[in-house]
Structure 1
Amino acid sequence: MTTPPPLRRSGTRRAEILRTLRDAGGPLGIAEIAQRVGVHLNTVRFHLDALVAAGTVERTRAELRAPGRPPQLYRAAPRMDPAGPRHYRVLAEALVAALAAEADPVGRATEAGRAWGRREASGLAADQADVDASVSADESTELLVGMLDDLGFAPERDQSGAPSRIGLRSCPFLELAVDHAEVVCPVHLGMMQGAMSTWRSPISVDRLDRFVEPDLCLVHLGGVGGTRAS
């Protein structure tokens, strides 16, 4: 009994079509692509539509040399594949290691976080109010909770009679925070301080207690008149 050939995954076939276009040296029509790859025309059309939608292939037209509509051709877009593999954690680990090797890793990490927080807060303020205007304690706290939620920290306002605390139930950088808390957690603290400073909030972010419980970090807020981060 003859064993059938293994089925090709669509991603593999799609990559083969893209490679064919890159190696062609010029635009190709659907029939020529199908012939070179060895598949049906409809299969080529299906994968070309996906590649065009992903931005890795472009449609073009042949030069008109006779009456009639010029045939549609395809070429590989002159860009890196936006759907290619990503290894941001490797980059993050390298940056964390570089910060940890600094003479003042906590200070440098906190300053990096403040710069990040200022960028995040400027966008939120532009959406909701004048960037140059200060916001109230309640408004800025709500903005902070919303920003933390958007970033994946799963924040919770403390319901135990301590309104000056925010619980963080998730960490979008958990593996790094566990292995390099001395650097990653100051980045988070600085990010919150930078945001409050940008909003000109009367509330300060004084401290971040990491992993007070296995699933909880605590943010401590200072009241009106407290020391504000700059």
Structure 2
Amino acid sequence: MNNSPRSLGPAPTPVAAPELTAAQRATLEQLRTADGPVRVGEVADGLGLHANTVREHLDALVDAGLATRTRAASSGRGRPAWLYRAAPAEDATMRAYAGMAIALAGHLRRTADDPRAQARELGRAWAHDLTDHPADVLTHLREFGFAPVSDESGIALTRCPLLDAARRYPDITCQLHVGLIQGALDALGDTDTRPVLIPFAAPGVCTLRLESDGAGADADPDSDDDRPGR
């Protein structure tokens, strides 16, 4: 796939680790052994390197899909610091899942009375199998391979674990992801939040909004703009 700046939507979740320098591997190891998200300075202290050097390594890991970056909570004036954490280890069977997702989406489109609704229910059931521990939605999204970044407009999904299927069958695959997110909310006991997914919303991202059940309650859940990236 061409991931040029003009392409809409997220990047694929990597299926193989890119080649890293020794310094980048050491930085990644610091993230993987940390108890939670860490600031640049904490990683720099652990490695004995200058913060600017470590920031470059961290940003390279984010670009490679091996780490995620989110803003810390605001604590006063100035822009909050970035927090970094290691992305989940890649599953060697991701390619097989991607192929299966394409076949499944095509089958649903051909045979289901309501393919989108059926895809949401399948996604919800899939999430119940994957979410074996309570955690916030961002944590689950990271574990699912979406590399989420929270901002003022919602949650930007910068990676897609089933991007090939989403581009071929966006109406089906993106609804599977909606169900997956709803299943993660189910695991938290949250019955008041509805995920609204805007596929291929902008270059590099899909956008997820978590709305209260009353917000846009009259909206058609199948009305999302499922545009494949251009």
| TM-score of the pair, normalised by structure 2 | 0.48
Bigger fraction of residues in helix = 1
Structure exhibiting the larger radius of gyration computed from Cα positions? 1
